Structures are given as C-alpha cells and as structure tokens.
C-alpha cells in the first residue's frame, strides 16, 4: 500500500512489528501492539472532545508512554500537535499557546500539574492529565470512525508544529506536514541502515527538533525508542550508564552533550558496547574536539555530522566522517551533500548564485511555513519560478556556506541568530526579555565564542533600579528558558552607540571579551 499519511504507516508498523518493543524504559516495555492500542483509545478521547482535522492540541511531554501514544493518535486524526516544555517559564509558553491556539492541553507528569493548569486557565484551554487507567475503551463504531478519519487525512495535512526562537520575542511555529515526514522517514531509515533490532537513545527533549529523528525513524521502522529522562542529561556517568544498560545502538544529540560527556571522561566504548551509530547536529562540532570522539568510537560506530533547519524537517544532510577529515584540525567538519529529497542553491549578498553565500533549500521536505504567521512565512519561504525549479517550495536558511568539490561547509549565520547548546536562538528574543524587566530602558545581547567548542551569551542593560545583576538574571529566568539566560549581565547607565545611532555591538563584544 502507498502510504499518503502517517496514520496508515503507523497502522502498518503495528501490524508488522506488533510484538516488537516500541518503547523501552528501565522498568517497563511497551510493544508496538500495546502502544497502538493506547493510541486508539486516546484517539477516541480526541474525537469525544470534538477535535477535527486541523485542530491543534498541545502536549507537555515529559517522555511518558502516553505522550508518545497521543502523538500517534493525533497523527491518525490529522490533528497537529505542538509539544511544549513544561519547565519553561509560563510567560513564554503562553506566547506559544497564543500562536498555536490549541483546542486541548495534555500533560503527563503530576510534578507539572499546577503549572499546566495555570497555563490552561490563562490561555482558556481545557487541561487534561494523561492517565491510562482513565482512558475509555473503544467500541466497533468508534474504531470504524477512526479508520474513516485516518483514511481521509491527506499528505499536506499538518503533523506537528515545532517552535523555535523568534527575533520579535515571539517564538515561531514551524508547521510540518505528513508528506514532509513521510519523505524524511524513507530517507532516514535507508541512510542510517535502520533495522528492527536497533534501539534509539531518545536523548533530546521532545519539544526540540532533534527528537523528530528519534521518534519517527525508530517507531516507523520496527526499531525501539529508549526515552532518556531529563535529569540524566546533567549527570554524565549516569547518562552513559543508562544508555549502555538499555543496549542502545543509535545515539543522536547536539555536540554540546557529546563534548560534555567526553570532557568528563564518561563516554567510553566499554560502557556502550552496542552503539553502532553516533550522530550529532544542531550546532558546529569543532574538529579538534570531534577527533577525541572519533578516535574512541570509529572502530565500532559510524560517526555522522548531520545538518538541517527545523523548517526542513529535522535533517537535510548526513556526512559520515573518515580519517581523512582529520588531516587538519581547524574549523568544522563538512556538512557533506544534501539528501536526495533536496534541491538547493547558494545565493551571494548581491543576489547572484555561486559557491559562497546563503543556502536556500527546496523540495518536498520544506515545511508549510510558520503557523498563523503569514508575515514571517513570506519573509523566509518562497516559491521558485525558474524552469528547472518551477513552483518548488524553498526556504532561506540564513546559513552561510561554501561549496567545494560538491561538499557544503558551514561558514556562519547571515542574521543575529546563534546556535547555543544546540538551540537556535534569536538574540533579539533575549533582548526582548531583558526589556520586560522593570527599570530597563535599553538592552542588548551578544554571543562570544570562548573556544572552538564553547560560547557564552552576554547581556547588557541600561537600568535604573536597585537590584543587582544576579537578581535581574533570576527575574529573566521567569520570562525565558534556561538556555537563553546570559552567563553574565552588565548593568550600565547607557549602552554605547555607533555613528548611525544604533547600539554598538562590536564595542559590547570587546567589553565581553575582557
């Protein structure tokens, strides 16, 4: 059968690999058949709550089994899901809710019950706790309705909305379709030689783009997903021990995590004997640091540098590293060649096309745009009309690259966006948060790379008040997530200006470097 939506592909996976383990926890396992059964019951809940195709639901996803099942239920009904960080400041999450306009808010962890109920009340959205014991059984009529509604979901229907940092202070919701992901699954399973005996370490939080690879490639190919608890990410020895005890074969994370566990000497082949693939993406991995990982694991595992903006369905290229890539240790490894589902061109500052400039991606993995945000969609997405790319959907990545012998190399960013701890961050969103602090009249944020492998965010404010920098940073933590909080906040009477009257960011960078 040709699968034109993810619901029918999910049903095929449950039928083919029903007794295979889909979710692996330290103390329990969920087979494909059991997970599919829970998903059907959750789909009935969504139908009873009046959810129609195109309605959005929000999930505060802390990697409990029912949250994964709810994602599958939503896919069957053509109901896009948006995953939120339950630990993120409510003021920022409320902006996400205001843009996504979900019909329902679900959460899976009682630790966040008060926060989620406050969020639901503030946004006027019913809040439901995911409890398997409370789920209704599905009767024959409901299952027939579910089957009919699944069959009617077309490939251009939205599957999920993934939020990234926004320069206006409002996060952008990337709207990804069923068709986008179907293409991604087909490429990913082939590129990474995935088989049903594989076990994926689900390291990334589910609101972060890298989790798309874990969830969709694992659970639509007969493999297993081993969710890694949030608290283990700050405990390197416990993290590696957990991944090893789960016999994980596939690791995908941001370079920051790998550099951290390597620096702590926690990541050793003897602790991870089953690992056959280590991939990283979301930020640059300096070759001087990467060689340490490569030397340790290349004999047993394929080490792969991946690249891809959220707007293009997680991963656009995968470059397996070789000994020759470390002949010299300056800079970053190649991005390699884009996968077969992408067309592209490189646009110079003058609009000409060549081998250096901004990467523009086109093809069926390019997402539908920014949800409920036509202005920012029009600024970043375009429809090409030249004969060889007639009517192709394209996305301006903002990534500066150069092409040498058919391989792409990352050169930096065109805008004021940075990659920090694997997250795409618009410095303007940090500045917007600083400006919300009482007494702040001006604000600026700069990013300074300390070494090839590590950078810091520095904040500057013109402030008339009595609170010190630590107190102001604590207050900022009530507005922005922890990964956006500056390492240091400098309080000044006024920020320096350049000849055009704008904030002099170069001067601020030189001050930050002192």
Helix axes 236-245, 255-263, angle to 10 degrees: 110
Six-digit token string for 408 = 């792409």
Both 400 and 457 in one domain: the answer is: no
Residue with tokens 């996060």, as numbered in its chain: 171
Domain hosting 489: range is 425-512
Supply the DSSP string of 212-234, one letter for each residue: HIIIIIHHTTT-EEEEPPGGGGG
Over residues 157-207, the pLDDT tens digits come to 999 999 998 766 789 999 999 999 999 999 999 999 999 999 999 999 999
Nearest Cα to 181, choosing from 202, 209, 150? 209
- Quote the tokens at residue 375: 């202005």
| Domain boundary, last residue among 353, 388, 412 | 412
Place of tokens 């009904």: 77
Distance in angstroms (rounded) separating the CA atoms of residues 179 and 492: 51
pLDDT at 196: 96
Q: Are residues 163 and 105 in the same domain?
A: yes
At residue 456, φ and ψ (nearest 5 deg) are: -130, 150
Which CATH number characterizes residue 134's domain? 3.40.50.12780
Residue 1, domain member (yes or no): no
Phi, psi of 229 (to 5 degrees): -60, 145
Q: Which residues pair with 381 in a beta bridge?
A: 395
Q: What are the tens digits of pLDDT across the range 191-205? A: 999 999 999 999 999
**Can you give the length of the chain in residues?**
514
Residues 307 and 356 in one domain: no
Strand residue runs (E) in 147-284? 158-164, 172-177, 199-202, 224-227, 250-253, 277-280
Question: What is the reported pLDDT for 128?
Answer: 98
The structure's pTM equals 0.88
In this structure, are residues 137 and 159 in contact, taking their beta carbons and an 8 Å threshold?
no
Same domain, 154 and 226: yes
pLDDT at 500: 56
CB 184 within 8 A of CB 314: yes
pLDDT in tens, 126-160: 999 999 999 998 899 999 999 999 999 999 999 99
Number of other CB atoms surrounding residue 18 within 10 Å: 16
* Other beta carbons within 10 Å of 352: 9
Residue 281's Cβ-side half-sphere holds a number of Cα atoms within 13 Å equal to 27
Tokens describing residue 354: 């060549």
Residue 265's pLDDT band (boundaries 50, 70, 90)?
very high
Confidence of residue 272 (pLDDT cuts 50, 70, 90): very high
Residues 406 and 430 in one domain: no
pLDDT tens-digit map of 3-14 = 899 999 999 999
- Residue 489 covered by a domain: yes
> Do 127 and 108 form a contact (C-beta atoms < 8 A)?
no
How does pLDDT run across 71-101, given as a tens digit for each residue?
Answer: 999 999 999 999 999 999 999 999 999 999 9
| Statement to judge: residues 82 and 219 lie in one domain | yes
Asked whether residue 76 falls in the same domain as residue 193, the answer is yes
Q: How far apart are CA 191 and CA 368, in angstroms?
A: 24
Q: Are residues 389 and 444 in the same domain?
A: no
Comparing 226 with 282, the larger pLDDT belongs to 226
Q: Is residue 228 part of a domain?
A: yes
Residue 387's alpha-carbon distances to 124, 311, 390, 391, in angstroms, are 48, 24, 5, 9
Residue 350 domain flag: yes
Residue 391 sits in a domain whose CATH number is 2.30.38.10
- Which sign does the torsion angle of CA 260, 266, 270, 271 carry? negative
Positive or negative: CA dihedral 212, 89, 61, 152? negative
- The predicted-structure confidence for 425-458, as pLDDT tens digits, reads as follows 888 889 889 988 999 988 889 999 876 667 899 9
Boundary of a domain, candidates 301, 326, 351: 326
Output the six-digit token pair for 404: 């040498």
Condensed to tens digits (0 to 9), the pLDDT of residues 410-422 reads 987 887 788 888 8
Q: Do 295 and 155 lie in a common domain? A: yes
Q: Is residue 417 part of a domain?
A: no
Q: Which are the contacts of 503, defined by CB distance < 8 A and separation ≥ 6?
A: 442, 444, 495, 496, 497
CA dist 53 and 57 (Å) reads 11
Calpha distance 238→258 (Å, rounded): 14
Burial class (CB in 10 A: 0-12, 13-18, 19+), 235: middle
The residue out of 361, 380, 412 marking a domain boundary is 412
Identify the DSSP state of 291. H
452 and 310, same structural domain?
A: no
Q: Check residue 267 and give its pLDDT.
A: 96
**228 and 123, same structural domain?**
yes
* Least confidently predicted of 10-19, 283-292, 344-353, 354-363: 283-292
Q: Could you tell me if 288 and 247 lie in one domain?
A: yes
Residue 337 lies in a domain: no
Where residue 479 sits, what CATH number does that domain have? 3.30.300.30
Domain count, the chain: 3
The reply to whether 335 falls in a domain is no
**Closest to 283 in 3D by CA, of 441, 448, 453, 154:** 453
Two tokens, residue 514: 């002192």
């Amino acid at each position: 059968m040709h699968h034109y939506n993810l619901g029918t592909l999910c049903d095929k996976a449950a039928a083919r690999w029903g007794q295979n383990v889909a979710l692996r926890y330290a103390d329990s396992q969920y087979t494909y058949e059991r997970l599919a059964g829970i998903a059907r019951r959750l789909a009935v809940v969504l139908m009873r709550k009046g959810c129609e195709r195109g309605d959005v639901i929000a999930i505060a996803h802390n990697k409990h089994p029912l949250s994964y099942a709810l994602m599958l239920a939503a896919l069957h009904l053509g109901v896009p899901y948006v995953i939120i960080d339950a630990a993120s400041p409510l003021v920022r999450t409320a902006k996400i809710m205001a843009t996504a306009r979900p019909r329902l808010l679900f959460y899976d962890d009682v630790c966040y019950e008060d926060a989620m109920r406050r969020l639901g009340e503030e946004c006027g959205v019913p809040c439901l706790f995911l409890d398997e014991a409370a789920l209704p059984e599905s009767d024959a009529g409901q299952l027939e309705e579910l089957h009919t509604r699944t069959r009617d979901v077309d490939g251009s229907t939205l599957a999920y909305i993934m939020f990234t940092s926004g320069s206006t202070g409002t996060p952008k919701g990337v709207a990804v379709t069923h068709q986008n992901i179907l293409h991604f699954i087909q490429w990913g399973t082939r590129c990474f030689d995935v088989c049903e005996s594989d076990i994926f370490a689900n390291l990334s939080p589910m609101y972060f783009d890298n989790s798309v690879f874990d969830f969709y490639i694992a659970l639509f190919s007969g493999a297993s997903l081993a969710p890694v608890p949030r608290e283990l990410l700050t405990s390197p020895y416990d993290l590696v021990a957990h991944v090893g005890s789960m016999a994980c074969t596939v690791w995908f994370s941001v370079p920051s995590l790998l550099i951290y566990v390597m620096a702590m000497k926690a990541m050793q082949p003897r602790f991870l004997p089953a690992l056959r693939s280590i991939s990283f993406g979301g930020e640059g991995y300096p070759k001087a640091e990467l060689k340490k990982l490569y030397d340790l694991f290349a004999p047993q595992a394929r080490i792969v540098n991946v690249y891809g903006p959220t707007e293009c369905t997680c991963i656009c290229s995968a470059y397996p590293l070789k000994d020759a890539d470390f002949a010299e240790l300056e800079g970053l490894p190649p991005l390699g060649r884009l996968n077969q589902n992408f067309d592209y061109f490189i646009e110079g500052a003058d609009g000409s096309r060549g081998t250096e400039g901004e990467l523009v991606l086109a093809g069926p993995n390019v997402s539908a745009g920014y949800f409920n945000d036509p202005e920012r969609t029009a600024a970043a997405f375009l429809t090409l009309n030249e004969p060889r790319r007639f009517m192709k959907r394209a996305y301006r990545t903002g990534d500066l690259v150069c092409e040498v012998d058919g391989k792409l190399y990352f050169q930096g960013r065109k805008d004021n966006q940075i990659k920090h701890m694997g997250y795409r961050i618009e410095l303007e969103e940090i500045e917007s948060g600083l400006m919300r602090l009482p007494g702040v009249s001006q604000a600026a944020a700069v990013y300074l790379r300390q070494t090839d492998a590590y950078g810091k965010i520095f904040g500057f404010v013109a402030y008339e008040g009595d609170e010190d920098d630590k107190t102001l940073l604590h207050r900022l933590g009530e507005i922005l997530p922890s990964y956006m909080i500056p390492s240091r906040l400098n309080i000044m009477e006024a920020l320096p200006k350049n000849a055009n009257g704008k904030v002099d960011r170069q001067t601020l960078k030189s001050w930050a470097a002192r």
